[in-house]
Structures are given as C-alpha cells and as structure tokens.
Amino acid sequence: MDPFLNNFIVLLSVVDPIGVAWLFAAMTQGTARQEQRRMAIAATLLASSILLVFFFTGTILLDWFGITIPAFRIAGGALLFLLSIDMVFARQSGLRSTTTKEQQEASNKQDITVFPLAFPLLAGPGAITTILLMASASGSSTVYWQSLLVLVLVIIITLLTLLFSPVLVKALGETGANVISRILGLLLTALAVQFMVDGIKTAFRLSA
C-alpha cells in the first residue's frame, strides 16, 4: 500500500474524528455554540501541537532511549492492534479514553479543552505512537513531507467534525458512529499486524 494512504488510514483510525465528535457533543450538551466552537478550535490546536512535537522529535527520542526502529515498529504495531480490537467491538480503550475518576473530573468542568478533549481523546497514547511510527519510517524527504501532510489533513478533518458535531450526531447517532469506528478498526487491525511483520523482518535482517 502507498505510504501516504497507509499513514492516513492509520492516523485517521486512531484519532477517530467521528467517535470523538460524538463524545464532544455529549460532553458539551447545553453549552453555547460559540463556546463549543472555541473549545473545538483550541483543543485541536493544542492536540496538533503535541503531535507535531512528537513528529519532529520522534527519532531523537527513540535514539535517546536506545530504542531501535524495528523494536518500536513491533511494539507500536502491538499497541495499535489492541486499540483496533477495541474499535471493532466498540469498546472504550485506555489508549484514548479516560478512567472513571477522570470522567467524573471532566463532568465537573465547564471547559474540556485541555482535558479530556485535547488529551487523551485527540492526542492520546495511540495517536502519539502512530506519529512516532510515521516519523521513524520516513526514510526519504518525500515520505517525510507526505507524513506531515497526513497529520495536517487528519487535524483538519478532526476540527471540521468537532465544529459540526451537532449535525453529525443528529445524522449518525451513536450506532452510526460505532459502525464507522468498527470499519476503521478492521482496517487498523491489518495495518497494525503489518507494522509488526515489517519490524520483525527488519530486526532479523539487521541481526543476520
């Protein structure tokens, strides 16, 4: 599969803009539309800043911790595989959801911009892992800039879904959002396995 399309599907599946938009609409029910738009824009900007930092410093972080690219691809693939299983069964995953106590804390807050919207719903461990995988796999300048373009496109799609979340919720409902999440989960399952297979192949090739 083309690296651009591969990265786009993986990151879009992990961030799951439709699922996040449904949660956003539920958490901001009764909030003025102007305030909803402000939180959506601010949270998307904050989440994108977090992801961009990891994109530009990803390989440096891996080198600093002494983690090889094949090892991270195997570990990252395994992590995304677990996330994809939860998506297929429409379960809340710890990779991009909050704990019960965090949900109680969030329900008592009027502004959910930073927590839980920006983190962990948008820029959670799953998204950060995906960004690090994309950055570490950028062997050429073309792939590097394509990966950056993927991140920008997913950010734009996410912002649009948040801004139009009331319309999406009315049109899709929870069932519709879960169906889309399941489809993305199926695609992510195969791509996560491919990450692990590629990592294992590269590890054996380097050790040979």
DSSP annotation string for 10-75: HHHHHH-HHHHHHHHHHHTTTS-HHHHHHHHHHHHHHHHHHHHHHHHHHHHHHHHHT--HHHHHHH
pLDDT along the chain (208 residues), means of 10: 89 93 88 94 97 92 90 92 87 60 60 90 92 84 92 97 92 86 91 93 83
What is the per-residue pLDDT for 103?
A: 60
> What's this model's pTM, rounded to 2 decimal places?
0.86
- In one-letter notation, the amino acid at residue 162 is L
Please, what is the angle between helix 125-136 and helix 3-15, to 10°? 170
Angle 138-141-144 (CA atoms, 0-180°, nearest 5)?
40
What is the per-residue pLDDT for 98?
A: 58
SS3 178: helix
3-state secondary structure 188-207: HHHHHHHHHHHHHHHHHHHH
What is the per-residue pLDDT for 156?
A: 97
Distance CA 81, CA 190 (A): 8
What is the per-residue pLDDT for 102?
A: 57
- Who contacts 55 (Cβ-Cβ below 8 Å, separation ≥6)? 131, 134, 135, 147, 148, 151
What is the per-residue pLDDT for 12?
A: 96
Domain boundaries, given as residue ranges, for the chain? 3-207
Angle 1-203-184 (CA atoms, 0-180°, nearest 5)?
35
Distance CA 146, CA 134 (A): 10
What is the per-residue pLDDT for 92?
A: 65
What is the per-residue pLDDT for 200?
A: 94
What is the per-residue pLDDT for 174?
A: 80
What is the per-residue pLDDT for 116?
A: 87
